[in-house]
Amino acid sequence: MAEQSARNIAYDACAWIKANPRDFRALMAVMHHQVDIGNPCTKQGEIESYARQMGMTIDVADVFSHNRTLYPALTRYMVMLRPRLARTINFRKSKLDAIDLEAIWREVVNSRTTFLASDRFEAERLIALEDVSAA
């Protein structure tokens, strides 16, 4: 099977977000909670457990925690929307970092969304600078 392109991964993630907005918000709530309790590194494999602790349905957590291409894209969108989540989400190098994720979001999910960071690098910079807008 051919490797998915970064653009296809981003389109798939945005399609999932558009089809599952409540689930995406619930997953973001899990991450916000991890920031609030001071967890410095929420790992992909732990999401299912954290979601269960918060009373989330396991089906939603399964999609998030077991899809190896969905997780990197969703977490990048999460920190672009709410940079504070970069306090608990740590990133590996990805081909997703070389494309315009915001443009794909605007095309698929919502053209009027306000992003507080242009990419995961800006979110990480805001956290490192202790910028209040990233709080």
Model confidence at 1, pLDDT cuts 50, 70, 90, reads: very low
> Which residues have C-beta within 8 Å of that of residue 40, sequence separation ≥ 6?
87, 88
The 10s digit of each residue's pLDDT in 76-131 is 999 999 999 999 999 999 999 999 999 999 999 999 999 999 999 999 999 999 87
Question: What are the structure tokens assigned to 75, written together?
Answer: 């977490």
More confident residue, 101 or 67: 101
Average pLDDT of 34-57? 85
Q: Find the helix packing angle between 6-19 and 101-108, rounded to 10°.
A: 40
Residue type (1 letter), 16: W
What pLDDT does 3 receive? 62
Cβ-contact 116, 134 below 8 angstroms: yes
What pLDDT does 83 receive? 96
Q: Is the pTM of this model over 0.85?
A: yes
Average pLDDT of 46-72? 74
